[in-house]
Amino acid sequence: MDRIVTKTLLCYALLLCMASCSVYKFVPEGEYLLDKVDVTTSDKSVRDLSEFRNYSYQTPNSKWFGLFRLPLRIYSLSGTSNPDRGINRMLRNLGEEPVISDPLLTEATRIEMQRALMNEGYLNAGVNVSTLQSRKPKVTVRYDLVPGRMFVVDTVRVTVMDPEIDRLLQENAGTSLLREGMNLDAGVLNDERNRIVSLLHNNGYYRFNKDYISFVADTASGSDRVGLRMVISPSAGGRGHLRYTISDIDYILADNAGAAQLSESDMCAVQADGFRVLHSDCDGKPSLRPGVISKHSFLREGMEYDNDSISKTYSSLMRLGVLSYSNIRLDTVPGTDDRLKASVYMFKLPKHSFTFEMEGTNTAGDLGAAASMSLSDRNLFRGSEQLTVKLRGAYESISNLPGYTGDTYLEYGLEANLDFPEFLVPFMSQELQRRSQATSRFSVKINAQQRPEFKKTIFSAGWSYSWTDTWRKSHKLDVIDLNYLVVPWISDHFRAEYLDPITSKKSILKYNYEDLLITKLGYTFYYSNSRLGSTDPFQYTVRLGLETSGNVLDALAKPLELEQNENGQYKFMGIAFAQYVKHDFAFTANWRMDAINNFVFHLEWGVAVPYGNSTSLPFEKRYFSGGANSVRGWAVRELGPGKFKGDDRTIDYIKQSGDIKLGASLEYRSKLFWKLNGAAFIDAGNIWTIRDYSEQPGGMFKFNTFYKQIAVAYGLGLRVDLGFLVLRFDGGMKAYNPSGKSLYRRLPLIHPSFDRDFAFHLAVGYPF
């Protein structure tokens, strides 16, 4: 108790020290700390003021959660007399140097905002700057936008000196961005230039660039109407622009970047259909078969130069796991003016790789560790097929299990995956293979679990396809995913205390300790509106999943006269099979407020219905709630279903599961300092069962009561972002507990108890 009081007093002392430390001692005499940058306007035609804030050359010191300038206060804790002292240097590195208002940068910002207004069509725009000072040496800089009249395009004329380009533009006139009545927006004009350049680059005009496109705006005195003229100039010398053809294609397989400097005499050539493969292994065949290269390249001999085909070739080649990267070089064929030679350099990774990983686990306070090692062959059949064999072992201590001979959980696993960089489907054209960017996977796996209560072994085999339509959309189809679950041993204590007393055939507890066959067929769709590394202020992702099991076997049960067990379930090869349908949905949206603050919203639901040959879902397919990626006021798998409250941890991981899941989270994330980020969150959700099971009273989903059983939690988090790894520490408090027997326990927000209502989570990566 004394230790807790001491730590609390030390924290208060540190906070008081930081609060009392002046943030102005590093502000030179006669200068001012930049406290705020405001952008205002009285003209309602200017709608997005946040865009103009981005033009500011100075940004005030960052605020934690938009409220506290703690990084500045940390910097201010350092001394002024000895800046090279160790503690002072550390505080300055962790903190943030004060941003001093600079009149030169303020004027540069004003000019930039005025230029932005003029580019939007306000040709007579102005920006007024004012500074608001307080009694303290800090200042607010306010930029007042005075746009004036908007200039509108009255007529559009296009002059093209090259008749071939003129014909091509006429054929694609419907995609032009220039319209009569549009605002004279420089951004739109620039987009039109980029559109034309892209169109021409995809139609053979290799050397065409946007310097050949110019705009002339004719304005009449006293009028806000503009006559717009776009001019496309000919090439040098007044000649028409050349359309280029790719006449020669070489693919160079290189072991390292230095191999790009090798001459043809240093390599051996293999002639294929329309291209050559150059490789350094003259004693054998190329490490990649020419047919595989052809399937992953959009370049063809005799084709017109097409920039889209170049980009698609880059993307497709990078899907070959045997390559580290690729480079495409285009050169004019000697003696010709309009012929190109494409040299495609493909730099290979080592054929074999070995990895070893270790991890720590924390399951409701029970600590454990896991280790895995894997061996990969990246080019098994000279087609960039990747074979990965992985061995995994895990150990976890288990507490509070009286009556059992052991107190440990052991897990062993062996897994083998074979990936092919294409659709393994007969009669599919090469063109479709190239465009689909597909991967086919075959996998086998065995997993053995040994707990004090039971032993379980899972044999799995799968066949699946993954492919993309565009960079926004991806798909996965599980053609078949077989899981054979065997429970070879159950402890006498567990059987006598929990299984034997149960007489109901529909008991979820008994069902999940019986041998079972799962024959899954599934489909997953993923959509994202942003590319990797995008800075769009609003980004979102959608994931949609659907799977089912047992339908084929159920349809064949009567014709094949399959045997039934004592529960009336049909058996295939002596084991009952599961039958269910399952649907999952997840939506995540990220609003970027500024460089260090953003809101993230997450919504998910899932519904799984057992039917036919099953009275309940297999344990592996059931939903759980609570934990680091769910409602964080509860420990992992501690919440639900419904208002059910588990009491016995021995079997609660079975009882506290359901067939329906609903969850939502709102998280405010803010960069703190160094590699530390903070978060404040609110979580809500629960799970329910489809049917009324006697072991889970109050857990069944009902439309007139489910909303009363949605649990709510709130909390704070700290994240250590190391770039390659994010360590997450989240502390959640219960706000509404649907399993509470009294109002006092149902509303811990009003009557909080740290021991009862707090849950701490350590995890890797963000929750969503």
Mean pLDDT of the region 80-96? 75
Asked if pLDDT for residue 653 goes beyond 80, the answer is: no
Domain definitions of the chain by residue range: 1-30+62-97, 33-55+99-148, 152-238, 245-347, 350-440
Residue range 197-206: average pLDDT?
Answer: 96
- Return the amino acid letter for 259: A
pLDDT band at 240 (very low <50, low <70, confident <90, very high): confident
pLDDT at 261: 59
The residues near 233 (Cβ < 8 Å, ≥ 6 apart) are: 161, 212, 213, 214
* pTM of the predicted structure, to 2 decimals: 0.83
- Is 70 exceeded by the pLDDT of residue 65? no
Flag the least confident range among 123-132, 142-151, 247-256: 247-256
pLDDT tens-place string over residues 310-320 = 999 998 998 89
Structure confidence at residue 12 (pLDDT)? 38
**CATH architecture designation of domain 245-347:** Roll (3.10)
Round to whole Å and give the CA distance between 482 and 578: 11
| Confidence (pLDDT) at 8 | 37
Query: HSE on the CB side for 643, CA within 13 Å?
Result: 15
pLDDT at 5: 36
Mean pLDDT value of segment 18-47: 81
Q: Is the pLDDT of residue 82 over 70?
A: no
Q: What is the 3-state secondary structure (H, E, C) of 483-541?
A: EEEEEEEECHHHHHHHHCCCCCCCCHHHHCCCCEEEEEEEEEEEEECCCCCCCCCEEEE
CB 749 within 8 A of CB 726: no
Name the superfamily (CATH) of residues 152-238.
membrane protein fhac (3.10.20.310)
Chosen CATH of 33-55+99-148 out of 3.40.50.150, 3.30.70.2190, 3.60.150.10, 3.10.20.310: 3.10.20.310
Contact 88, 21 (CB under 8 A): no
d(CA 332, CA 338): 7
pLDDT at 654 over 80: no
pLDDT score for 3: 45
Give the pLDDT mean for 508-524: 89
Dihedral sign of CA atoms 749, 754, 756, 760 in order: positive
Mean pLDDT on 196-223: 91
pLDDT at 83: 66
Mean pLDDT, rounded, of the chain? 87
What pLDDT does 688 receive?
96
* Number of CB atoms found within 10 A of residue 47's CB: 9
Range with the poorest average pLDDT among 250-264, 481-495, 534-548, 744-758: 250-264
Average pLDDT of the segment spanning 9-19: 42
- Check residue 592 and give its pLDDT: 87
Mean pLDDT computed over 607-619: 92
Residue 36 has pLDDT above 70, yes or no: yes
Which has more confidence, 56 or 83? 56
* Token pair of 232 as six digits: 């496309």
Buried b (16+ CB within 10 A) or exposed e, 666-692: ebbbbbbbeeebbbebbbbbbbbbbee
pLDDT above 70: residue 753: yes
Mean pLDDT along residues 376-389: 94
pLDDT band for position 655 (50/70/90)?
Answer: confident
The 3-state secondary structure of 381-405, one letter per residue: CCCCCEEEEEEEEEEEECCCCCCCC
What's the pLDDT at 602? 97
pLDDT at 155 over 90: yes
Going by the DSSP 8-state scheme, the letter that residue 611 receives in this structure is -
pLDDT band at 209 (very low <50, low <70, confident <90, very high): very high
* Amino acid 7: pLDDT: 40
Averaged pLDDT, 580-592:
96
Give the mean pLDDT of 520-542: 86
Where is average pLDDT lowest: 6-20, 434-448, 474-488? 6-20
Q: What is the pLDDT of residues 326-362, one digit of tens each?
A: 999 999 999 998 999 999 999 999 999 999 988 766 6
Q: Per-residue confidence at 446, pLDDT binned at 50, 70, 90?
A: very high
**Which pLDDT belongs to residue 15?**
44
Angle, to 10 degrees, between the axis of helix 186-201 and the axis of helix 163-171? 110
pLDDT at res. 50: 78
Is the pLDDT assigned to residue 18 strictly greater than 50? no
Q: Report the alpha-carbon angle 622-623-624, nearest 5.
A: 125
Pairing of strands 225-232, 213-219: antiparallel
Which residue would you say has higher pLDDT here, 505 or 129? 129
pLDDT at residue 736 in the model: 95
HEC string of 641-681 equals CCCCCCCCHHHHHHHCCECEEEEEEEEEEEEEECCEEEEEE
Q: How confident is the model at residue 496, as a pLDDT?
A: 81
SS3 178: coil
User: Could you tell me which residue, 501 or 248, shows the higher pLDDT?
Assistant: 248
Q: Residue 522 pLDDT more than 70? A: yes
pLDDT of residue 433: 82
For residue 270, the tally of other CB atoms under 10 A from its CB is: 15
Taken in order 241, 243, 248, 250, is the CA torsion positive or negative? positive
Range with the poorest average pLDDT among 144-158, 253-267, 347-361, 677-691: 253-267
Percent of the chain topping pLDDT 90 = 56
Percent of the chain topping pLDDT 70: 91
Whether the per-residue pLDDT at 509 is higher than 50: the answer is: yes
